[in-house]
Amino acid sequence: MGNICRSPTAEAVARAKAVQRGWADRLLIDSAGTHNFHPGSPPDARSQRHAQARGYDLSSLRARQVMDGDFSRHDLILVMDWDNLSLTEDLCPAMHRGKIRRLAEFAQRHPTEVIPDPYYGGAAGFEQVLDLIEDACDGLLDHLQGRPAARAAR
């Protein structure tokens, strides 16, 4: 929602995984929030700390709200939960709504419908978010590569 926890974490993880696969120059990866709560702010310090412990650097990222141009510029718009799905669909021009998906749909090892918001919780929530995002980003890149996903039981 505010682009300071889950979405910048997903951006950094997806970028790192794209680099590992040699795809850094083939993908445009960005993050934005559905609300303009923290424009220009860096990711939450807890998100940065937990991500850094796993080798992901969020320090250069800054919060922004999704803009009209995002829907035409990107082939896929990934959201973290049902609220963000609904809000993003409301913001999205009808012609681009088919691009919107939940990131959790791509998780292969962790059965989940959404990536939960860790903001009001403790360290375990930020670790869980990283586990889910790493899993979903692996599944997403497999999907983009045309590999069938080995899905976790739901």
| Residue-wise pLDDT tens digits, 62-111 | 999 999 999 999 999 999 999 999 999 999 999 999 999 999 999 999 99
Is residue 147 over pLDDT 90? no
Full residue range of the structural domain in which residue 41 is found: 6-145
- CA distances to 3, 5, 78, 83, 128 from 123, in Å: 19, 13, 24, 23, 9
> Which two three-digit tokens encode residue 7?
């979405």
Does the residue 124 lie in any domain? Answer: yes
Does the residue 152 lie in any domain? Answer: no
Does the residue 1 lie in any domain? Answer: no
> Quick one: pLDDT at residue 83?
97
Does the residue 112 lie in any domain? Answer: yes
pLDDT tens-digit map of 10-35: 999 999 999 999 999 999 999 999 99
Mean pLDDT, the chain, rounded, equals 95
Does the residue 153 lie in any domain? Answer: no
The Cα 62–Cα 76 span in angstroms is: 21
Task: Please state whether the predicted TM-score (pTM) of the whole model is above 0.85.
Answer: yes
The Cα 22–Cα 17 span in angstroms is: 9
> Quick one: pLDDT at residue 86?
98
In the structure, what pLDDT confidence band is assigned to residue 148 with cuts at 50, 70 and 90? low
Q: The domain spanning residue 68 has which CATH number?
A: 3.40.50.2300
- Domain total in the chain: 1
